Amino acid sequence: MSSPFLRDKNIIDVVKYKWLWVAFSAILIVPGIIAMVYSMTTYQTHSPMKLGIDFTGGTLVQYGFEKKLENTDISKVRESLNKAGIETAVIQIDQASKSINEQSVKDKDVEPVIESVKEPNEVTNKDKAKKTEVKLDSKKVEVKEGVKTPDVVNPESKAGIKSIVSIRTKFLDKNDSKKMNVALKESIGEFVPLQVSSIGPTLGKELFQNAIVALLLSFAAIVIYLTVRFKFDYAMFALVALFHDALFVCGVFSILGLVFHTEIDSLFITAILTVIGFSVHDTIVVFDRVRENSRFLVKKMSFNDIVNASVNQTLARSINTSVTSLVTLMALYFFGGVTTRDFVLAMTLGIAIGTYSSIFNASTLLAMWRSRSAQPKKAAA
């Protein structure tokens, strides 16, 4: 029989459908786990997700084109790069934002490796002896005389950029850069080099190790905090909810990496840490109400009814907080920059699944554990 509290208040009986929440969580997580296991056997790095150049090392190059390009042009670019010997490149085409006509080309910590392509009939003896310098913000790129201006970074030509082609690939030396320039010029047309980013494999490995350490330290700090503030079983199931949220987000990005070649970078680790903080915040709100109600209602209600009452009392607050955050993130996803889109996607998925796990997973698992622990005591009595 249900508690009079449940009948009178007509609240949602969360604990009653505990196995439904467990099955739904399995549906969300299992495909991602399968994708991560498959990725670990497929990628050379044996990582569960497709790692970006932040962790593996490589070169990211962005080109601006004055004509509008579509996703169908990716095949042309890939074919031309394969012919040039640049294989396994990740290519992305995006429409230029309005702000690109106003902002300058970003200054980088590394010297750009792209050199402009010279037409065969432009090579003269004078070119061999004389060089000019073209200033790229605070950096300088050496180019030879006689080069066409659309091939170098010309601030005035940025105003006509309509499409941006981003290419992530292995380390590019000057010869590879020339081949890439030739390939793009032949397949698409004139371009403006926007930025070049390179990172070494040693630094990438160090960043990856630091990211793992940061995640482990955050989990340990959360367990210690919840154990001190509440009890160990509270901390245990809060940690289960955090693993649930992190596994879901990582699984989705593992699937995206296999299907759409989506890579993770240092911003992804930032998103995961933010999601963990948001999720534990929601869980603490529910657990705090459970602890408060347990002090006054333990003699009047069962622990399952106390959990149901606590979840319903905090339900509106949790949903409202999540919805306001998701609205902002969706606006950033659709109208923000391309470079932060994956970060915003990870945040959106994490906040949505974190709200669900705090309400339907952490609380019901705690109720199941307490009910199971109470059975031996009743039998002994």
Instruction: Kindly report the CATH number assigned to the domain that includes residue 342.
Output: 1.20.1640.10
230 and 330 in a single domain? The answer is: yes
Contact 48, 250 (CB under 8 A): yes
pLDDT one-digit tens code per residue, 134-190 = 333 333 333 333 333 333 344 444 557 878 888 888 778 788 888 888 888 888 888
Q: How confident is the model at residue 2 (pLDDT cuts 50, 70, 90)?
A: very low
| pLDDT at site 145 | 33
**Rounded CA gap, 133 and 116, in Å?**
12
Q: How confident is the model at residue 376 (pLDDT cuts 50, 70, 90)?
A: low
178 and 193 in a single domain? The answer is: yes
Residue of higher predicted confidence among 56 and 366: 366
Give the pLDDT mean for 216-243. Answer: 85
Give the pLDDT mean for 6-13. Answer: 60
272 and 248 in a single domain? The answer is: yes
224 and 277 in a single domain? The answer is: yes
| pLDDT at site 346 | 94
pLDDT one-digit tens code per residue, 28-63 = 999 999 999 999 999 887 889 988 777 777 888 888
Answer whether residue 125 shows pLDDT above 90.
no
Give the pLDDT mean for 111-115. Answer: 41
pLDDT one-digit tens code per residue, 54-97 = 777 788 888 888 888 877 778 888 888 888 888 767 787 877 65
184 and 297 in a single domain? The answer is: no
Tell me which of 174, 199, 224 is where a domain ends. Answer: 199
| pLDDT at site 144 | 36
209 and 286 in a single domain? The answer is: yes
Picking from 269, 110, 119, the residue whose alpha carbon sits closest to that of residue 190 is 119
| pLDDT at site 201 | 64
Picking from 162, 349, 146, the residue whose alpha carbon sits closest to that of residue 262 is 349
On average, the pLDDT of the chain sits at 76
Total number of domains constituting the chain = 2
Residue of higher predicted confidence among 226 and 130: 226
Beta strands in 71-128 (DSSP E): 90-95
215 and 354 in a single domain? The answer is: yes
257 and 305 in a single domain? The answer is: yes
Q: Which of 28-32, 196-200, 261-265, 291-295 has the lowest mean pLDDT?
A: 196-200
Full-model pTM: 0.68
DSSP class of 150: G
**Rounded CA gap, 63 and 248, in Å?**
34
DSSP class of 164: E
Which of the residue ranges 54-58, 216-220, 301-305, 316-320 has the most confident prediction, judged by mean pLDDT? 316-320
| pLDDT at site 45 | 78
Residue of higher predicted confidence among 124 and 224: 224
Answer whether residue 220 shows pLDDT above 50.
yes
Q: In the chain, what percentage of residues exceed pLDDT 90?
A: 17
Which domain does 159 fall in, by range?
58-199
Answer whether residue 332 shows pLDDT above 60.
yes
- Coil/strand/helix, residue 21: helix
Residue of higher predicted confidence among 102 and 201: 201
183 and 109 in a single domain? The answer is: yes
| pLDDT at site 126 | 42
Tell me which of 199, 219, 241 is where a domain ends. Answer: 199
95 and 209 in a single domain? The answer is: no
Q: 10 Å Cβ neighbour count for 350?
A: 26
Give the pLDDT mean for 263-285. Answer: 87
Phi, psi of 44 (to 5 degrees): -65, -30
Tell me which of 199, 233, 263 is where a domain ends. Answer: 199
215 and 305 in a single domain? The answer is: yes
| pLDDT at site 380 | 52
96 and 153 in a single domain? The answer is: yes
Quote the tokens at residue 183. 């390939």
**Rounded CA gap, 220 and 252, in Å?**
25
